[in-house]
Amino acid sequence: MGTAAGASAIQCRGEKIVNLDNVRVVLVGPLYGGNVGSVCRAMANMGLSDLAIVPERSLNMDEARMMACHATDILESRSTHTTLKEAVEDCGVVMGTSARTGLYRQHAKTPREWAPTVLADTSRGRVALVFGREDKGLTNEELSVCSRIIQIPTSDSYTSLNLSQAVMVCCYEIFVAADLYEPPIEKSPLAPTAFRERMFDIWRALLLMIGFMGDDKCDHMMQGFRRVMGRGAVTEDDVRIMIGVARQAEWAAEHLQESLKAEGDKGEKAEQ
Ligand code: SAH
């Protein structure tokens, strides 16, 4: 099964033009095929498809395919290069990622801080996100090719993320900033007061019937019940469910009483 590679190409949301196809993930000297596969999956999840690799050793491609899961098309369509400079030669902006602080890294910003800038740049050219080797990261020479540095915030006690997780965090921030995701919306309208009051009446009758409360405590208990039901915005679907539960409980209580009575009558007859 393929991914939706390219599906997020150029999308307009209001004034904003976002071209996620112009974001290239560049892996320099990855050691493990599994990580490369996981990178493909992360990219597909976040709407990216352009993967470039600067290989330094042969990768375990079975492992890569396994971890790529439904994103093998990104793996198969990757470009390979002999140097980082070659991998980014057509990119207008090159952003390096590093877990380390210090020399050449003082201007580092988080993926969240960089994301709006990256998106703005994608409407005018290609942006490369460069990731280093699992064991040694990027060399200073490679970092010098990058005009911007991304640092993912972490605990001081362990600052280095797994390669594919670092890719995921960066791609996720770009995707979220692109505002392409449409969250699910509640379709059921808010329940109007009259409908909610009907539900309270039905529950009031039920709670009295099953002896949960007596007439004396009724108003007090119903205040509590109303408080529970009023914590969120109650929808028409919510009210329908609550009325359904009450109706069923009423029915069960009546039938239970009838069957208990029938059992009792049977017992009495047997004793006679
Ligand atoms: N031991 C290496 C880390 C390698 S992790 C080092 O000290 O540099 C592999 C790659 O994941 C890094 O080269 C970088 O591209 C990315 N990465 C891992 N942790 C990161 C972090 N906290 N911020 C930014 N990139 C990170």
**What angle, rounded to 10 degrees, do the helices at 111-122 and 163-178 form?**
60
Residues of the chain with CATH 3.40.1280.10: 11-178
User: What's the mean per-residue pLDDT of the chain?
Assistant: 91
C-alpha 132 to ligand 1 mean position (Å): 6
Q: What b/e readout covers 106-116, taking b as 16+ CB neighbours within 10 angstroms?
A: eebeebbebbe
Class of domain 11-178: alpha beta
User: For position 103, what pLDDT does the model report?
Assistant: 60
As a whole number of Å, the CA-based R_g of the chain is 31
For residue range 107-160, what is the model confidence (pLDDT) as tens digits? 899 999 999 999 999 999 999 999 999 999 999 999 999 999 999 999 999 999
Q: Which residues contact 214 (CB under 8 A, 6 or more apart)?
A: 208
Please state, for a pLDDT cut of 90, what percent of the chain lies above it. 79
The alpha-helical segments, DSSP class H, found in the chain are 33-45, 61-68, 72-76, 84-87, 111-122, 140-145, 163-178, 193-209, 218-229, 236-271
Residue ranges around ligand 1 (CB below 6 Å): 97-100, 131-132, 134, 136-138, 150-152, 154, 159-161, 163, 166
Q: Distance from first CA to last CA of the chain, Å, rounded?
A: 75
Within 13 A of 182's CA, how many CA atoms are on the CB side?
3
User: For position 5, what pLDDT does the model report?
Assistant: 42
Top pLDDT among 264 and 105 is at: 264
* Amino acid in position 122: T
For residue range 198-237, what is the model confidence (pLDDT) as tens digits? 999 999 999 999 999 999 999 999 999 999 999 989 999 9
Mutation probe of ligand 1 site: the residue of 27, 163, 172 with most atoms within 8 A of C-beta: 163
C-alpha 161 to ligand 1 mean position (Å): 6
Six-digit token string for 223: 């205040």
For residue range 74-117, what is the model confidence (pLDDT) as tens digits? 999 999 999 999 999 999 999 999 998 776 567 899 999 999 99
User: pLDDT-derived band of residue 6, with 50, 70 and 90 as boundaries?
Assistant: very low
Six-digit token string for 158: 């362990």
Q: 3-class DSSP state for residue 93?
A: strand
CA atoms of 41 and 30, how far apart (whole Å): 16
Is the pTM higher than 0.85? The answer reads no
Q: How far is CA 70 from CA 44, 53, 82, in A?
A: 8, 19, 27
Q: Looking at ligand 1, which atom is closest to the CA of residue 150? A: 24
Q: Which DSSP category does 148 fall into? A: E
Six-digit token string for 130: 């460069």
Distance from chain centroid for Cα 80 = 30
